[in-house]
Amino acid sequence: MGADAGALNVVRANGGARPYRTELTPVSFLRRSAYVFPEKIAVVHDERRYSYRAFEDRVNRLASALLAAGIESGDRVAFLCPNTPAMLEAHFAVPAIGAVLVPINTRLDAGEIRYILEHSGARLVFADHELVHLVEDAAVGVIRVDETGDHSDPYEAFLADGSPDQFELRVDDEEQTISINYTSGTTGRPKGVMTTHRGSYLNALMSGLQANLRPDSVQLWVVPMFHCNGWCFPWAVTAVGGRHVCMRKVDPELMWQLFDAEGVTHYNAAPTVHTNIVNHPAAHRLEREIVVTTGGSPPSPTLLARMAELNLRPIHAYGLTETYAPYTVCEPQAAWDDLEPETRARRFGRQGVHNIVADPIRVVDEQMRDVPRDGETLGEVLMRGNNVMKGLHDDPEATVAAFDGGWFHSGDIAVMHPDGYIELRDRKKDVIISGGENISTIEVEHAIARHPSVLECAVVATPDEKWGERPKAFVALKDDETATEREIIDFCRDHIAHYKCPVAVEFGPLPKTSTGKVQKYVLREREWVGHHMRVN
């Protein structure tokens, strides 16, 4: 191959760059769709409709205005916005100039936001008009987004100062950081997960393939874009030239309207969101299937059955902020069609297998040896490869710890089934150890969720003098339904081992994160008041 190497060196010398290599960046997807589909509607928000040409013009304006404001390659630019056009635009304009996007969770308080702005070293923050009061005291420049689209909107004024002309993308290395996504860890302070252009590009292609995105796809924005960059869908939908339908907040009534009015074909969300959607009075069977990527926790058999009735086709994925969101997908098997609905739903509720662009997932013991494929032995879930984060911003120690042994440690506890599918059993911090036996809180939750009156539930450890820890259930009932503590416990005892059943049941709404994930730690804190440890 010596002769080839010679040729390549000549080619390389000829102009410097290699003509057979372009750095991967998801920003290129917008460039292409604006080229191919300039007149097609790309973004819908209430009465506003932007064509792909307008979408790109606005992104170019934002990018050039950021440059004019002194933002340089590697600088961080924060966005504190719901799922609005500005948030979509941020996903292209900020990386286009080589800067790093810092999307901020809109449900945080002022102190938490201040910490993120300071820790990330953001030079500017764009804040929605309903949230701008949260950054009043921030020591960085603030640009308010009024969301009117009018000239009087400071965001629009900022764009007006920019240029709609195309410029050369400042992506010198596809492994440069594209986004820093802050997520809560075990230590209290959020950590800044750094992702790359390369990883985002590959995940966007994978998502498009997995969710069967096409040029006529219409994505309704349910999962927040601040959460893992909306699971890379701002880039994936744009890549195929599909349409984004924005929505400021999750409103099931509005969703059912938009499903019909906008011809929605796709949306992504956590099961708790789907539960509200499928139980809404406006729910009706759709003529055209909607592909629903769901993650965060396994969908219950009840939810799956209801989704099928309504023509919502679920894709069950699992991942973390550290893995650009979905890392696994529960690929349905043809043989499952012959199973009882309950069994099939349980199969479908497994987190599954690594997706097309991911490396094989592992479940390992304390010595990092793979656990047997027995569906029983608990171990920690490890990942690595192109859809694992680059590291934690400004935190070398935590980065090294997260990558112990060359693998990303998820902190999630799972089993490996004989068919190679993983199934989560607990968070590492969340395992209940009762009388020396491990209890999976998720298993208990599944049992309770099968009770016909239960809308949703969460199980945490509560201290117990005799057993060390016992499970306690927090239950939200469906509207107009009733149940007693005794009923719930007895129901559980009919379905799972008695030692796993809750010792107590408390009724009421569950505390949740902005993405709809139940905040188990809030419940646990409540149970362990006065204890110096959270295990026993």
Within 236-275, which residues bind its own copies (CB under 8 A)?
A: 239-241
Nearer to its own copies, 84 or 181 (CB): 181
User: Measured from the CB of residue 316, what is the shortest distance to its own copies in angstroms?
Assistant: 14
Residues 6+ apart with CB under 8 A from 155: 86, 126, 143, 144, 145, 146, 147
- Contacts (CB under 8 A) with its own copies, residues 157-176: 175
C-alpha dihedral, 446 to 452 to 458 to 462, nearest 10°? -90
CA distance 245 to 46: 9
User: Measured from the CB of residue 331, what is the shortest distance to its own copies in angstroms?
Assistant: 5
Burial of residue 388, with CB atoms counted within 10 A of its CB: 0-12 exposed, 13-18 middle, 19 or more buried: buried
**Candidates 132-140, 210-218, 224-232, 514-522; binding stretch for its own copies (CB under 8 A):** 210-218
- Contacts (CB under 8 A) with its own copies, residues 302-341: 331, 333-335
Tokens 């809404």 found at: 280
Residue 193 is classified by DSSP as E
**Could you give the 3-state DSSP secondary structure of residue 128?**
strand
Nearer to its own copies, 191 or 306 (CB): 191
- Contacts (CB under 8 A) with its own copies, residues 20-79: 20-22, 24, 29, 31-32, 35-37, 39-40, 74
Task: Rule CB under 8 A: say whether 391 interacts with its own copies.
Answer: yes
Nearer to its own copies, 382 or 444 (CB): 382
User: Measured from the CB of residue 518, what is the shortest distance to its own copies in angstroms?
Assistant: 30
Task: Rule CB under 8 A: say whether 289 interacts with its own copies.
Answer: no
Query: What's the token pair of residue 193?
Result: 């997960």
Tokens 């902005």 found at: 514
- Contacts (CB under 8 A) with its own copies, residues 469-508: none
Nearer to its own copies, 406 or 508 (CB): 406
User: Measured from the CB of residue 267, what is the shortest distance to its own copies in angstroms?
Assistant: 19
Task: Rule CB under 8 A: say whether 287 interacts with its own copies.
Answer: no
Task: Pick one of 163, 183, 212, 453: the residue that binds its own copies (CB under 8 A).
Answer: 212
User: Measured from the CB of residue 306, what is the shortest distance to its own copies in angstroms?
Assistant: 24
Task: Rule CB under 8 A: say whether 3 interacts with its own copies.
Answer: yes
- Contacts (CB under 8 A) with its own copies, residues 396-425: 396, 399-400, 403-408, 420
Burial of residue 522, with CB atoms counted within 10 A of its CB: 0-12 exposed, 13-18 middle, 19 or more buried: middle
List strand residue ranges (DSSP E) for 60-171, in order.
Answer: 76-80, 100-103, 124-128, 141-145
**Candidates 153-161, 181-189, 225-233, 393-401; binding stretch for its own copies (CB under 8 A):** 393-401
Query: What's the token pair of residue 457?
Result: 């539930």
Nearer to its own copies, 68 or 335 (CB): 335
Beta-strand relationship, 312-320 and 325-329: antiparallel
CA distance 250 to 268: 12
Task: Pick one of 7, 68, 282, 535: the residue that binds its own copies (CB under 8 A).
Answer: 7
Task: Pick one of 87, 127, 206, 290: the residue that binds its own copies (CB under 8 A).
Answer: 206
What letter represents residue 43's amino acid?
V
**Residue 414 is inside which H or E element, if any?**
strand 408-416
User: Measured from the CB of residue 435, what is the shortest distance to its own copies in angstroms?
Assistant: 28
Task: Pick one of 354, 362, 446, 524: the residue that binds its own copies (CB under 8 A).
Answer: 354
User: Measured from the CB of residue 92, what is the shortest distance to its own copies in angstroms?
Assistant: 15
* Gyration radius (Cα) of the chain, Å: 24
Size of the site for its own copies (CB under 8 A): 75
Task: Rule CB under 8 A: say whether 386 interacts with its own copies.
Answer: yes
Nearer to its own copies, 368 or 522 (CB): 368
Q: Half-sphere exposure of residue 477, counting CA atoms within 13 Å on the CB side?
A: 13
CA distance 120 to 179: 11
Q: What is the 3-state secondary structure (H, E, C) of 232-294?
A: CHHHHHHHCCCEEECECCCCHHHHHHHHHHCCCCEEEECHHHHHHHHCCCCCCCCCCCEEEEE
Task: Pick one of 146, 251, 359, 506: the residue that binds its own copies (CB under 8 A).
Answer: 359
Task: Pick one of 60, 177, 229, 462: the residue that binds its own copies (CB under 8 A).
Answer: 177
Q: What is the 3-state secondary structure (H, E, C) of 3-26?
A: HHHHHHHHHHHCCCCCCCCCCCCC
Nearer to its own copies, 181 or 434 (CB): 181
Nearer to its own copies, 261 or 335 (CB): 335
**Candidates 17-25, 128-136, 293-301, 515-523; binding stretch for its own copies (CB under 8 A):** 17-25
